[in-house]
Structure 1
Amino acid sequence: MSVLAAIAVLGLLIVVHELGHFGAARLQGIRVSKFSIGFGPVLAKYDGKETEYALRAFPLGGYVGFPDDDPDSNIPLDDPNLLRNRPVFDRAIVISAGVIANLIFAYFLLVSQAVTVGVQDINYQAGVLIPDIISEVNSPAVKAGLQKGDVILAVDNQPLPAQETALETLRQTIQDSPNQVLKFTVKREDETFVLSITPELSDNGKGKIGVMLAPNGDFIKRRPHDIIEAFTVGTQQFERYTKLTIQGFGQLISNFQESAKQVAGPVAIVAVGAELAKNDLGNLFQFGALISINLAIINILPLPALDGGQLAFLMVEGIMGKPLPNKLQEGIMQTGLVLLLGLGIFLILRDTANLAFVQQFFPQ
């Protein structure tokens, strides 16, 4: 059930995204010929008065089709309600509406979570938790003897207080101290001791010791007192998740070699969602909001086959006063689509191979 719930959330986010495009076009009177969830062979479809609604075999996204792209369309090319004949601004609204829909949906998911099940909060305790040691045999943390479950109480005699800022303080200290010896005050069960650890210089020019960091404390659920506070909490959560997502993409670009290994495809995302739902179905609100924000930010990137790529074409058209040649645009978009689908298939195969039940039959 938890797997189905996670798949349903992903499917809903795709529908929301495509409904954004569809709604923005229809509200402006622009003709829409196809509304499709998924790619490839049609599993089910319904022919409306003007639009074909279809569910397709490969759930790697979806698309809204326009008569402009259909060579068999009997609509005159000079029809003012064709997307191609609308001003740049009208087309930009249609293209960007999917991203906007995902962001709005994420926000209301977080408000709904606050109202129904409450938001997750932390009863902070002193220090920063080490939830896991990154599997590097010669990492500074492994050499020094740091272990999973340890709590770092202080670094260079600077206490890490029971506050949200403790984690960022420790992370910043480590990143700012490559090749410098740091004294970590560590608590392990009932024992407290000091370890000397020298952060190594990473590819991005910052220090690292090879561990994951997490807040130290007990997780609690807190409900707002009224609807106004619920919207306030939803806004705070939305800002936080959006900021973290943008920072994550920034790290992917600046430190691609290490960060690329953490990029997840649909299978891994469903696995994470299923695990969250298994513990608490209320976690699906947070899961859905995070994925919706990620989907929005990915789509706005100026890459071929994504909404951002089409907006880039419109920007060029607005500056030049005329669009790029159709063959050039089609070539760029088709190349981008092939690369995007190839990446999707690769991530699906990789993440499927990494699933626990698969590795039982095919151990590495």
Structure 2
Amino acid sequence: MSVLAAIAVLAVLIFVHELGHFMAARLQGIHVNRFSIGFGPILWKYQGPETEYALRGFPLGGFVGFPDDDPESTIPPDDPNLLRNRPILDRAIVISAGVIANLIFAYFLLVGQVATVGVQDINYEPGVLIADVVTDNSAAERAGLEAEDIILAAAGRDLGRSPKAIQAFKKAIETHPQQTIQLQVQREEQILTLDITPDRSEDGQGIIGVRLAPNGKIVRRRADNLFGALASGAAEFQEISVLTAQGFAQLIRNFSETADQVSGPVAIVAIGADIAKSDAGNLFRFAALISINLAIINILPLPALDGGQLAFLAIEGVRGKPLPTHIQDGVMQTGLMLLLGLGIFLIIRDTAQLDWVQKLLE
């Protein structure tokens, strides 16, 4: 059921994206002849007065079709309500509407979370929790640190009760490679003093071989009223958008180092399934995060994406006429093949990394 919930989240986000394109066209009186969720064989379809609505076999995408280049269309080529015959601004609105719909939907998802199940927060206690210790002769193991220990102070500095405690502890370790420092540790009801000598990493910083976690109890905070929900939702939206944009910027700057962190639909469904199992309330934030990611990816000026079509419109605006059709088609088809190839690669890679697949391969 958790996997189905994650797939449903992806399907809804795709539907919202395509609905943005569809509504932007129809509200301007532009002809639309197809609205499809998914790719591949048709599972269900309904023929409306002008538009065919369909659900297809693979719900990991979708499209809105226009009769401009449909050889079976009976609409005259000079019809002013064909998309290609509309002014650049009208076409830009249709093309960008999917991205805008995803962003708006993400915001209201976060508002909904704040208003109903609440936003996950932490009531911080003093110090930093050691969630796990590397047992391969790490500095932490040599010093006698154990999982579930709480570091109260490091190198003479009290870590305090703060979300910044983890960063303060990391800094104390990273700035003392191969130098012995003193830790004040709480282990159950005991307060211990341990000396630790961080190892030196390849980049010259200190490391001790632990996984850290905030020390505190997880709580959920709900908004008191609608205005509070709208304000909190906006703050959550801004935080996620900024972090996502920074992540894409880092990916572009250090692609060779961060490319393995790119996830495909299989990994996204797996993450969503884990979230649904542990706390279904976090599906709101998960869906908002994926929706914002879809928006940012689609607005990139790459062939076969919305951003690539907007780039063609920008060139048309500068030239005063569109690029030749064969050039646009060639670029878009090449981009589509590259995206499909990347998608297939990510699906195969992420499937091979699933736990149950790893067990089969052992």
Instruction: Give 1:83 deviation, angstroms.
Output: 0.9
Residue type at the aligned position of 1:328? I
Q: Distance in 1 between matches of 2:49 and 2:262?
A: 41
Instruction: Give 1:193 deviation, angstroms.
Output: 2.8
**CA-to-partner distance for each residue in 1:184-224, whole Å, 9 max, x for gaps?**
8474735453433366456xxx9685776543322101111
Q: Distance in 2 between matches of 1:327 and 1:236?
A: 45
The residue correspondences of 1:66-215 to structure 2 (distance < 5 A) are 66-129=66-129, 131=131, 153=152, 157-168=156-167, 185=183, 187=185, 189-190=187-188, 191-197=192-198, 200=201, 209=207, 214-215=213-214
Residue 13 of structure 1: aligned partner: 13
Q: Distance in 2 between matches of 1:253 and 1:172?
A: 27
Residue type at the aligned position of 2:224? H
Secondary structure (helix, strand or coil) at the match of 2:273 reads: helix
**CA-to-partner distance for each residue in 1:272-327, whole Å, 9 max, x for gaps?**
11111112221211111111111111111111111111111111212222212211
Secondary structure (helix, strand or coil) at the match of 2:56 reads: strand
Q: Distance in 2 between matches of 1:28 and 1:61?
A: 24
Instruction: Give 1:152 deviation, angstroms.
Output: 5.2
Cα RMSD after superposing both structures: 3.0
Contact 1:153–1:184 under 8 Å retained in 2: no
Residue 44 of structure 1: aligned partner: 44
Residue 241 of structure 1: aligned partner: 240
**What is the aligned length?**
358
Question: Unaligned regions of 5+ residues in structure 2, if any?
Answer: none
Contact 1:201–1:208 under 8 Å retained in 2: no
Residue type at the aligned position of 2:292? I
Q: Distance in 2 between matches of 1:142 and 1:71?
A: 70
Secondary structure (helix, strand or coil) at the match of 1:240 reads: helix
Residue type at the aligned position of 1:309? G
Contact 2:182–2:193 under 8 Å retained in 1: no
Structure 1 residues 249 and 194: CA distance shift in structure 2, 3 A: farther
Question: Unaligned regions of 5+ residues in structure 1, if any?
Answer: none
Instruction: Give 1:225 deviation, angstroms.
Output: 1.3
Q: Could you state the TM-score of these two structures normalised by the residue count of structure 2?
A: 0.87
Instruction: Give 1:139 deviation, angstroms.
Output: 9.1
**CA-to-partner distance for each residue in 1:61-110, whole Å, 9 max, x for gaps?**
11111112323322222111111111111111111111111111111111
Secondary structure (helix, strand or coil) at the match of 1:287 reads: helix
**CA-to-partner distance for each residue in 1:214-259, whole Å, 9 max, x for gaps?**
4332210111111111111111111111111112212222222332
Residue type at the aligned position of 1:321? G
Secondary structure (helix, strand or coil) at the match of 1:225 reads: coil
Structure 1 residues 274 and 86: CA distance shift in structure 2, 3 A: same
Residue type at the aligned position of 2:239? R
Residue type at the aligned position of 2:160? P
Secondary structure (helix, strand or coil) at the match of 1:14 reads: helix
Structure 1 residues 327 and 119: CA distance shift in structure 2, 3 A: same
Q: Distance in 1 between matches of 2:180 and 2:312?
A: 50
Q: Distance in 1 between matches of 2:326 and 2:26?
A: 27
Instruction: Give 1:158 deviation, angstroms.
Output: 4.4
Residue 28 of structure 1: aligned partner: 28
Q: Distance in 2 between matches of 1:171 and 1:94?
A: 48
Contact 2:39–2:59 under 8 Å retained in 1: yes
Q: Distance in 1 between matches of 2:258 and 2:160?
A: 29
Structure 1 residues 178 and 325: CA distance shift in structure 2, 3 A: farther
Residue type at the aligned position of 1:195? I
Q: Distance in 2 between matches of 1:144 and 1:44?
A: 63
Residue 3 of structure 2: aligned partner: 3
Secondary structure (helix, strand or coil) at the match of 1:282 reads: helix
Structure 1 residues 321 and 41: CA distance shift in structure 2, 3 A: same
Q: Distance in 1 between matches of 2:119 and 2:42?
A: 40
Contact 1:174–1:199 under 8 Å retained in 2: no
Residue 63 of structure 1: aligned partner: 63
Q: Could you state the TM-score of these two structures normalised by the residue count of structure 1?
A: 0.86
Secondary structure (helix, strand or coil) at the match of 1:322 reads: coil
**CA-to-partner distance for each residue in 1:7-66, whole Å, 9 max, x for gaps?**
111110000010011011111111111111112222221111111111122222111111
